Amino acid sequence: MKIKKILISQPRPEIERSPYFEIARNFNVEVDFRPFIQIEGVPAKEFRKQRIDVLSYNAVIMTSKNAVDNYFRICNEMRIIVPETMKYFCISEATAYYLQKYIQFRKRKIFFSNFSFADLVEIIKKKHKEEKFLLPCTDVPNDEYTDLLDREGIRYVKAPLYKAVYSNLTDINMSQYDMLVLFSSAGITSLLNNFPDFKQHHTLIAAFGEQTAKAVIHAGLKLHIHAPQPQAPSMAMALEQFLKGEQKGKQWEPASLSIQNIEDMTPEKKMPPKRNVRSVAKPKAAPVAAVIEKKVIAAKPAAKAIVKDKPKPAAKKVKPATKKVTKPVAKKVSKPVAKKVSKPKPSAKKPAPKKVAKVVKTKKPLAKKAKAPAKKKAKPAKRKR
C-alpha cells in the first residue's frame, strides 16, 4: 500500500524548512496539518485560588512546550520575576532548547532526558532529590508522571496552568487519509469524540511518545509507527525511514514494541509466577540448613586441638624480643640530648649584662657637667651686698 496522503495532528509549522515539507517534496506525498486539540491557558485569577507560591519552588519539571509557554505566561501575569538560580528538568532536548525563548540557556541549570519521563526521574534521583519541584500540567494531569514521582519520594506540587480543549473535526473525511500522525493521548480522545464510529480499516497510525502509543492500543487501534527510537529520535525521521522502506519494497523494522505485550498482561496474570517461586524456595532452604549444622558440629573438636598447641610457642618467642629492644634504645637517646641542650643556655645570658653596663656609664658624666656652671654664678652675687 502506497502512502499518498498524511494527516498530522499539529498546527501548520511557520518555518519553511520544516522536515515535513521536505518529506512531501522528496516522496511526492500530500501532507495536511490540523490540530486535534487546542490549548487554553488558565487565567491568573483561577490560578491564585490554588494558593501556589511559585517562588517557593527552586525547580520546575517541563513535560512539553505548552508547559513552558504557560509557566512564563502566568509569571508575567502575576508579576513574578523568575530567579536565575531556577533549575529546569525537561522531558526532551527540544523542550530544553525551547527555553531559550524566555531565559538564557545554561547547562548548569537545565537538564533533559530522551523523551522518557522515567529517565528524567532517574536524573532527579541522582543529585537533585532534595529539591522542591513544580509540575506545570493540564487540568487533568498525567497519572503515570505523578505515580513515578510519588514512588521515588520526590517532593512536588501539581500546577494546572492550561486546559486541553478538543477541536471540532467533523468537517474532515478521515477515510481519504492513508496515515494519521498523533502526538498525545488527548489527540486520540479528540478523534474518538468527533468520530465515535471510527474504524481504522487500512489507515496507518503513527504515535509519538510512550503515552500516546499506549492510548492507541487502549482504544483498540493498531499501531504501525512509533517514535522516538534510537534510529529515529523524531517523528519526521521515523516517517522518512518508513517511506524509504516503502519505496524499496521493504517494511520498516522499528525497535521491538513491547507496549502491546505489557498492556495485554494484567497485574493478576503477573502475580502467579511470583507465588510459585516462593513455594519452591521454601523446601530447598530446609535441607541446606541441616547440612550446615552437621559441619559445624564436626569442626568443633578440631578447632580446640589447634588452639592449645599454637599459643604456647608463640608466647615464648615474643618475651625475649621485647627485652633486647628496650635497653639499647633508652641509653643512646638520653645521653646526647642532655649535653647538647645545656651548653647554649649560659652563653645567651653573659653578653646581655655587659652591653647594658657600658650604656649606663656614659649617662652619668653628662649630668655632672650641667650642675657646675650653675653654682659659680650664684657666689659673686652675695659678696656685693
**Angle 166-170-172 from CA coordinates, rounded to 5°:** 110
Instruction: Choose between 118 and 295: higher pLDDT.
Output: 118
How do residues 268-313 score in pLDDT, each as one tens digit? 333 333 333 333 333 343 333 333 333 333 344 444 433 344 444 4
Instruction: Choose between 137 and 377: higher pLDDT.
Output: 137
C-alpha cell at 274: 511470583
C-alpha cell at 265: 498482561
Please indicate, yes or no, whether the overall pTM of this predicted structure exceeds 0.85.
no
pLDDT of residue 142: 78
The whole-angstrom separation of Cα 192 and Cα 177 is 16
Q: Is 239 exposed, middle or buried (0-12, 13-18, 19+ CB in 10 A)?
A: buried
Residue 6: its H or E element:
strand 5-8
The residue count for the chain: 385
How do residues 146-163 score in pLDDT, each as one tens digit? 999 999 999 999 999 999
The whole-angstrom separation of Cα 89 and Cα 122 is 11
**Comma-separated ranges of CATH 3.40.50.10090 domains in the chain:** 1-36+167-257, 39-164
Which residues fall within 8 angstroms of residue 221, CB to CB, at 6 or more apart? 188, 200, 205
- Which residue do the cell numbers 514494541 mark? 257
How do residues 58-108 score in pLDDT, each as one tens digit? 999 999 999 999 999 999 999 999 999 999 999 988 899 999 999 988 767
C-alpha dist (Å) from residue 193 to 11, 140, 169? 19, 17, 9
Q: What is the mean pLDDT of the chain?
A: 74
Strands (E), 68-126: 87-90, 110-112
Tell me the CATH number for domain 39-164.
3.40.50.10090
Which residues on adjacent β-strands are paired with residue 66?
none
pLDDT of residue 229: 85
How do residues 202-252 score in pLDDT, each as one tens digit? 999 999 988 899 999 999 999 999 988 888 888 999 999 999 887 666 655
Instruction: Choose between 124 and 356: higher pLDDT.
Output: 124
The whole-angstrom separation of Cα 156 and Cα 56 is 11
C-alpha dist (Å) from residue 287 to 168, 283, 293, 294, 295? 70, 7, 10, 11, 13
Given a contact cutoff of 8 angstroms between Cβ atoms, the answer to whether 206 and 182 are in contact is: yes
**pLDDT at position 18 over 70:** yes
Rg of the chain over CA atoms, in angstroms? Answer: 45
**First and final C-alpha spacing in the chain:** 156
What fold characterizes domain 1-36+167-257?
Rossmann fold (3.40.50)
pLDDT of residue 317: 45
**Phi, psi values for residue 382, rounded to 5°:** -75, -35
Across 99-108, 249-258, 346-355, least confident range:
346-355
Q: How far is C-alpha 10 from the chain's CA centre?
A: 31
Q: Is 21 exposed, middle or buried (0-12, 13-18, 19+ CB in 10 A)?
A: middle
pLDDT of residue 383: 53
